[in-house]
Chain A
Amino acid sequence: MIKVNTTVTKPRKSGADVAFVVCNTLFMIAFVVITLYPVLNTVAVSFNDGTDAVRGHIGLWPRIFSIKSYNTVLQKPTMKTAAIVSVLRTIIGTVLALATNALLAFVVSRKKFLFKSELSLFWVITMYVNGGMIPYILLFKTLHLSGTFWVYVIPGMLNAFNMLVMRTYMNGIPDSLEESAQLDGAGYFTIFWKIISPLCLPVYATVALFVAVGQWNSWFDTMLYNRMEDKYTTLQYELMKLLNSVTSNKGQNSSTNNTTQQSTVTPVTVRAAATVITMLPIICLYPFLQRYFVTGLTIGGVKE
């Protein structure tokens, strides 16, 4: 594609196009610098000495180098279990979510389906209504999901947002494919599995990324449903416990309560180290999914 592009357009490359490329390159450089700054800053802080970091104003390089913060994070004995559980929930959760959301999206994207609109509405509403934490606690207790691994992957499996993203993509696939398959005697499942899914890899990759990142990053469910269960603890929850989330600190309204017995200030460096540790696996995962976004998958070959 690139080849075609260059050979064909080269002789007629206009001034406007050159200006466009220059501006675009400049824009991207500026963009990269601005977005990279907080990330590199976090890395620098994570490698800085904890005591010194209190003074703030660390730029892109640690002022006093130290790997103590990483020691603090990684020395927790629970980290190993936590990492295994996190990886498992990410894999199982992603596979389950991908399969179910794709199937649901497939169903609601069938033009002839009888309850297409109703089923969509049913799921769209779920995006905007939320009964709060307490009913979920009661529900999962009733279903015996609390205190198990499954509480991580079953409840959030189907998600209207992911479903709609997939549906939109599937809607873009010409109906003629489905029709010709039907003429050949294919059932709906075959159409889903053999015809639609192979064309949807980019959007599957997108949703897989969303779900995987969500699973990898979530800690709130661990805290609510497996607060004391060490065997189902997750990496993010372990890190959160280490960080003493600032929100909870700020939520205290007892302005004059002087019984704070222990210093609860977690070094910013530990916070940064935890962030870096979380980001690393995702940075590694990304290139595998990225090829689906960057190289255009051609569906031209199967068009009418």
Chain B
Amino acid sequence: MADTNDTMVQSAPVKTNNARRRKRKPGDEFKTPITVKEMKKQSFLLGCTALFVIYGIIFNYIPIIGWLMAFQKYTPKDGLFGSQFVGLAKFKFLFDDEVFLRDIRNTLAMGIINLVTTFIMAIVFAILLNEIKNTLAKKCIQTISYLPHFLSWIVVCGILHDALSINGIVNDVIEFFGGERFNFFMYEGWFWPIVAFAQNWKETGWNAIIYLAAITSIDPCLYEAAAIDGAGRWAKIKYITLPGIKPTIMILLLMNVGNVLNAGFEVQYILGNDVIKKVAETIDIYCLTWGVSKWDYSLGTAAGVFKSLVSIVLIVIANMLAKRAGEERLF
């Protein structure tokens, strides 16, 4: 069974006419040598590529000029090309400040917790939803599940804050079971889980859409065959559904690894307070306090450059690991 499955979904290279046979490690990609003949053959692909590259340069790469600001004392008066250069002063400012280092830790911690939980929740939800056999119920649940995505953070956080306040519903339940009412937002240990919950609450259904689409690419014959072999629900999930969406899982995991430092701003800003600031402040909040709100446009850019560099290093490493493991990868 695992066999059929492999040939079906995996992108393992298939023998082609001009592929020279050689021994390959898993994940090692076959590369067509660049020849005039081959280029002629691929002229359509190359033409498209040229357009895509030009587009990318204009709309994605030229604006990186904005990074100049990180090395300047940018003032709106002098603009991007006239402001005074200050070298690495902004970076020095950031990394000399213990508070910034603390905020990196917070951002990283929340980024990782959010990444892991939202990731697992979305996959679990997609798979379980796929197991619902009543089409109408399935459609309804899916529609409902992704609605919170359209609520703003201020609304979601407001409801959450209300539910967790001393007189809120959660404390009502705690009291009902004989516990003592307590203020969740006073304790540093609770903040990260609360943020993770908020993320999952709002985005699980939305994140699951991609997996649901991926599940549709799985050949129904496989399930039928498995059923005949006597496989139960769990076995089918484990041996058919999961491997079927593995490439999608991998690619999303790789992309999100690069985003761990983008743990957000609004949730922490709205839910955080002065008492638990030590664990609630993120890089973005730091930049607001010290950067923009002090008319320092450069500081935020410096933090942005730092985040970008970290992201790129992370995805390169993750991509390498994926390559070694023979899995779907970014590039």
Contacts and interface: CB of A to CB of B under 8 A. Distances in A.
Direct contact of A and B (CB under 8 A): yes
Interface of A: 1-2, 4-5, 8-9, 12, 14, 16-17, 20-21, 24-25, 27-28, 31-32, 34-39, 41-42, 56-57, 100, 103-104, 107, 110-115, 117-136, 138-139, 143, 154-155, 157-158, 161, 164-165, 167-169, 171-172, 174-176, 179, 187-189, 202-203, 205-206, 209, 213, 217, 246-247, 250-251, 253, 271-272, 275, 278-279, 282-283, 286-287, 290, 292-300, 303
Contacts of A14: 232
Interface string B36-64: 00110010111011001101101111111
Q: What is the size category of the interface that chain B forms with chain A?
A: 35 or more
A21 B237 CA distance: 13
B210 to A, nearest CB: 6
B85 interface: no
B251 A124 contact: no
A28 B128 contact: yes
Given A165-B251, A168-B247, A275-B152, A188 B216 contact: no
Nearest to A155: B59
Contacts of B80: 134-135, 138
Contact of A251 (B132, B228, B288): B288
Contact of B159 (A37, A132, A157): A37
Contacts of B104: none
Contacts of B132: 24-25, 28
A171 B247 contact: yes
A42 B212 CA distance: 27
Interface of B: 7-11, 13-14, 16-18, 29-30, 32, 34, 38-39, 42, 44-46, 48-49, 52-53, 55-56, 58-67, 69, 80, 125, 128-129, 131-133, 135, 137-139, 141-145, 147-152, 154-156, 159, 162, 201, 204-205, 209-210, 212-221, 223-224, 227-228, 230, 232-234, 247-248, 251, 255, 258-259, 266, 269-270, 288, 292-293, 297, 300-301, 304, 308, 311-312, 315, 328, 330-331
B213 A293 contact: yes
A113 B66 contact: no
A126 B61 contact: yes
A124 B218 contact: no
Given A8-B227, A271-B155, A300-B219, 14 more contacts: A8-B228, A14-B232, A20-B234, A38-B156, A104-B52, A112-B38, A124-B315, A126-B56, A136-B63, A139-B63, A143-B58, A171-B247, A202-B213, A246-B270
Contacts of A287: 139, 143
Contacts of A4: 224, 227
B32 to A, nearest CB: 5
A126 B331 CA distance: 13
Given A290-B139, A292-B213, A187 B156 contact: no
Contacts of A39: 144, 147-148, 151
Contact of A253 (B67, B218, B293): B293
Contact of B223 (A5, A130, A187): A5
